């Protein structure tokens, strides 16, 4: 148990540095695209292509990464992510941006699947929600710090120091990966997964069966990712004039990430004692109701407060839904791979929509 907790904290640190790099890129990608001459509508379509690429990658993962476990997924994730800044540096045409979105979609898929795979394999079932609550704290910290670092660079300009900073954080994440790789013994990793490639039609049918069986959990994940994508795609582009010394977009994202840090330390222990699905549903409902008020309220102060309240509910919903997904993986050993990949497909659908 102490060994699994040690591995959990090592993985959290890996994700923390990885997501600082990813958050910096996520903040600037919409600006890179619009500064290249594309409209905001085209920008949305280009970024949405990353999720389409992610869905296609879900069907191919067992062929491209044989016998995948979180160790392999995280290593490939970091290597692929290191390519993304280089593609963005050279991207000026539509095709280069689309290639960049393929790279982005692949490594983000590996991040999602690897995280779920780690919790379902290494952590005890009664600590799944608690584990995701802690993971969400480090995810929020990474995404909280990322806009601060991103703000040091001129928006939309491709400064080399910006890309070197991204590679620096990816390098630290890779360093943490080696610690995780050493501390997590191979005996701790279950060997029940069916990783052998099968025919495309059978693969698709199995994904459809899993999606139908566990649809309520998956659709909740889609809705949560819709909320998440609205923040990260819209916030850098929103221009609201204030007398504040800090840009509105940065404060908007800060208010969105802060609640996960506050509630993540303890909310998982509460969720694990109740129905994860029920807690996740009501928390998602509350977040959706607050999200609807964004179309009515225009005052920047109230928008920041509303963002904070909405994120308080998503901060509860995320550990509950992710914990429920990890429970599904633990309970259905013969469909572990399909459950993880279908979960990621519904995640991608949230970003596409």
In angstroms, how far is the first alpha carbon of the chain from the final one?
40
CA separation for the pair 170, 125 (Å, rounded): 30
- Concatenated DSSP letters of 221-246: HHHHHHHHHHHHHHGGG-----S-SS
Nearest to 77 by CA among 142, 17, 159: 17
Nearest to 61 by CA among 270, 345, 283: 345
Q: What's the predicted TM-score (pTM) here?
A: 0.79
Q: What angle do CA 322, 196, 4 make, to 5 degrees?
A: 40
Nearest to 18 by CA among 172, 150, 213: 172
3-state SS, 44-80, equals: HHHHHHHHHHHHHHHHHHHHHCCCCCHHHHHHHHHHH
pLDDT tens across 227-268, in order? 777 766 665 555 555 555 456 666 777 777 787 777 766 666
CA separation for the pair 308, 78 (Å, rounded): 31
Name residues of the chain where pLDDT drops below 70: 1-2, 62-63, 66-67, 153-158, 185-204, 207, 231-250, 264-274, 332-337, 351-353
Distances in Å between the alpha carbon of 193 and those of 121, 197, 334, 335?
10, 12, 6, 7
* pLDDT at residue 139 in the model: 87
CA separation for the pair 31, 91 (Å, rounded): 12
CA separation for the pair 53, 348 (Å, rounded): 9
pLDDT tens across 182-209, in order? 877 654 444 444 445 556 666 667 767 7
Six token digits for residue 324:
């429920």
* pLDDT at residue 191 in the model: 45
DSSP letter, residue 12: H
- Concatenated DSSP letters of 262-304: HHTTTHHHHHTTS-HHHHHHHHHHHHHHHHHGGGT---HHHHH
CA separation for the pair 286, 278 (Å, rounded): 13
């Amino acid at each position: 148990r102490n060994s699994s907790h040690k591995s959990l904290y090592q993985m959290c640190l890996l994700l923390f540095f990885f997501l600082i790099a990813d958050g910096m890129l996520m903040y600037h990608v919409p600006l890179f695209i619009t500064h290249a001459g594309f409209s905001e509508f085209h920008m949305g379509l280009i970024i949405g292509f990353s999720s389409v690429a992610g869905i296609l990658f879900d069907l191919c993962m067992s062929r491209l990464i044989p016998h995948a476990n979180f160790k392999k997924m995280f290593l490939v994730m970091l290597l692929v992510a290191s390519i993304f800044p280089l593609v963005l540096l050279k991207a000026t045409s539509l095709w280069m941006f689309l290639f960049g979105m393929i790279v982005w979609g692949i490594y983000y898929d590996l991040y999602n699947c690897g995280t779920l795979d780690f919790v379902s394999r290494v952590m005890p079932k009664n600590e799944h929600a608690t584990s995701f609550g802690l993971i969400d704290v480090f995810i929020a910290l990474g995404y909280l710090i990322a806009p601060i670092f991103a703000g040091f660079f001129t928006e939309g300009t491709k400064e080399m120091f910006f890309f070197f900073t991204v590679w620096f954080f990816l390098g630290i994440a890779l360093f943490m990966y080696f610690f995780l790789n050493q501390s997590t013994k191979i005996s701790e990793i279950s060997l029940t997964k069916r990783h052998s490639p099968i025919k495309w039609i059978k693969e698709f049918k199995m994904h459809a069966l899993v999606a139908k069986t566990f649809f309520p959990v998956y659709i909740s994940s889609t809705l949560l990712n819709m909320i998440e994508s609205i923040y990260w795609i819209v916030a850098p582009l929103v221009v609201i004039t204030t007398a504040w010394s800090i840009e509105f977009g940065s404060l908007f994202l800060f208010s969105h990430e802060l609640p996960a840090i506050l509630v993540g330390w303890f909310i998982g222990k509460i969720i694990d004692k109740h129905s994860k699905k029920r807690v996740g549903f009501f928390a998602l409902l509350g977040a959706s109701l607050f999200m609807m008020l964004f179309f009515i309220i225009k005052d920047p102060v109230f928008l920041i407060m509303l963002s904070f309240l909405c994120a308080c509910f998503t901060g509860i919903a995320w550990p509950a839904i992710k914990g429920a997904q990890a429970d599904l993986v633990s309970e259905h050993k013969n469909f572990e791979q399909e459950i993880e990949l279908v979960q990621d497909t519904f995640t991608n659908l949230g970003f596409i929509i």
